[in-house]
Amino acid sequence: MTDQSIVESIRSDPNSRALSALYKQFPMVRSLIRRNGGTTKDAEDVFQEALIILVKKLRTENFQLTAQPGSYLFSVSRYLWKDELRRRNRQVPQELLTESNDTEHPETETLGLKDLLEEESRIKLAEQALSELKDRCRELLLLFYHSGLRLKDIAARMGYSSENTAKNQKYKCLEAAKNRLRELKQTLQS
């Protein structure tokens, strides 16, 4: 798959073929992170995060990808790891501090990552709230908003007696998620 076709297929719908093409970049990110005090698990987490950012960026209308997707992933991963090290109160190695000058791995600042990261941390909190829901609730929400399945099929698959029950249940799950998120935010502030 060429970079162009990856970008296009992610724009329309992130299929697994395009995603696994992007996964080719993982070994690079992994070695970067392992060189700089992280484990493979850290590398996976960071890489996933970077992939999510890239996919979402590609889906926003006015986003122009200035670098190759692979380079973008690498840069974002590097930035994320640097941020994570700071969060863990660990020293940031020199390799991460020096912004590279080669065009293949552009400056993180030019990618506007700082704002992005703040936004992401808010979303991650929401994700956490969701992850604390009951499995069934979370599955219903994911199916409902991101599976492309019809309500009828979702109701059948989840074993709800009617579409209305499923829909009602969905609102209850949304409510539970909102309440949890509200709590999480309050604990953060206090």
Partner 1 sequence: MRTELELIQKIEAWLDGSMSAEEQRLFEENMLRDAHLLGEVRLQQEIMNGIENAALRQKIQQTGRLRRRRRNLRNWGGAGLAVILLTAAIFLIAKQHVPATPTSAPPNIPAKSQAPIYSGATTHDTIIPTNTGFTLSIPNTQPDSNEQRVRTKNTIPLQSFHINTNADTVIETKGGIILSIPASSFLDSSGQPVTGPIDFVIHEALDPASIIKAGLSTRSGDQLLETGGMFYVDAVQDGRTLKIDPSRSIYAQVPANQYQPDMQLFTGRRLADGTIDWQDPRPLEHYLNTVDIHQLNFYPPHYLDSVRSWGYNADDRQFTDSLYFSFAGLSSQAAAPVRSSPVAAQPRPVDYTQRDTIILDSSIGPRYDCDIDPARIKAIWNDSFRNTLLATREFEQRMTYIHMAGPKILDLYVQNLDKNLSTIDSMTAASPYISGQLKGEIFPSFARRRDGKVPLGIQQLQKLNIYYIQKTQAFATAVARTQKEFWDHEALLDKKYTDHTIDSIERTSRNFQQELDINFREACRQLGYTIAPARPTPSVYQVKLPATGWFNLDKYVRTATEGRTTLNVTDPQTGKKTVIQYLPASFHPARWKDYDRLYVYLLPDRLSSYMRLTSANGSYPEKLNVLLSYDLVCIGYKGGQAFFYSKPKVQAGDHSFGLQPIDSATLDIQLKKWGNQSQSAGLLRENAFDRWRQQDRPRLQRNERLRDLRDKMERAFFSKCLFWGEAEPQ
Q: List interacting residues with partner 1 (CB under 8 A).
A: 1-2, 14, 16-17, 19-21, 23-24, 26-27, 44, 48, 51-52, 55-56, 122-127, 129-131, 138, 141-142, 145-147, 152-153, 155-157, 159, 161, 168, 171-172, 174-175, 177-178, 181-182
**What is the distance between the alpha carbons of residues 40 and 38, in angstroms, rounded to a whole number?**
7
Q: Is the separation of the CB atoms in 150 and 186 below 8 Å?
A: no
Measured from the CB atom, the residue of 12 and 110 that comes closer to partner 1 is 12
CB of 117 to partner 1, least distance (A): 14
Within 69-189, residue ranges assigned H as helices are 69-87, 94-97, 113-131, 135-146, 151-158, 163-189
Measured from the CB atom, the residue of 96 and 181 that comes closer to partner 1 is 181
With a CB cutoff of 8 Å and minimum separation 6, the contacts of 140 are: 154, 158, 166, 169, 170, 173
* DSSP H or E stretch at residue 67: none
CB of 11 to partner 1, least distance (A): 14
Measured from the CB atom, the residue of 94 and 171 that comes closer to partner 1 is 171
With a CB cutoff of 8 Å and minimum separation 6, the contacts of 188 are: 125
CB of 55 to partner 1, least distance (A): 6
With a CB cutoff of 8 Å and minimum separation 6, the contacts of 180 are: 129, 132, 133
Measured from the CB atom, the residue of 110 and 172 that comes closer to partner 1 is 172
Measured from the CB atom, the residue of 17 and 88 that comes closer to partner 1 is 17
CB of 107 to partner 1, least distance (A): 26
CB of 18 to partner 1, least distance (A): 9
